[in-house]
Chain A
Amino acid sequence: MTCYVVFKLIWTGLLGVLLSLVGLMVGMDMGVGTLLRWVGRNNEERREALNIIGPHWEGNQVWFVLGGGAVFAAFPTLYGTSFSVFYIVMILLLFSMILRPVAFDYRSKVNSATWRDWWDWAFFISGFVPMFIFGAAMGNVLEGVGYHFLWDGQYIQDENFLSYLFNPFAILCGLMSVALGIQGGGAILMIHGIQPIYGRARAAAVPAGIIAAILFVIGGFWVSRINGFHMINKVDMSMPANPLYGQEVGRGVGDLLLNFHHFPILWALPAMALFGMLGSSLMLRANKPLVAWWLGVFTWLGTIGTVGAALFPFLMPSTTAPNQSLSAWNATGSEYGLICMALVAAIFVPTIFCYTAWSYWVTRGKVTPKTVAEDSHSY
Chain B
Amino acid sequence: MSKIAIIGGGIIGVVTAYELAKLGEEVILFEKNYFGSGSTFRCATGIRAQFTDEANIRLMKHSVERWEKLEEELESDIVFRQTGYLFLAASEEEVEAFKANIKLQNKFGVPTRLIDMDEAKEIVPILNTEPFLAGAWNPKDGKANPFKTLFAYLFKAKELGVDAREHTEVIGFEREGDTITAVKFRNNGKVESVKVDAVLNAANAWAPLINEMAGLKWDLVPITAYKHQLVKTEPLEPGQAEPLVCPPSWNDAYIIQDGEDGGIICGAGIEHKAKSLDDYEPTYDFLRGVLDYAVRIAPPLRYAHVVRQWAGFYAKTPDSNPAIGRLLDNFYIAAGFSGHGFMMAPAVGEAMAELISKGRSKVPLDWEWYDPYRFERGELRTSAFQIG
A and B: interacting chains: no
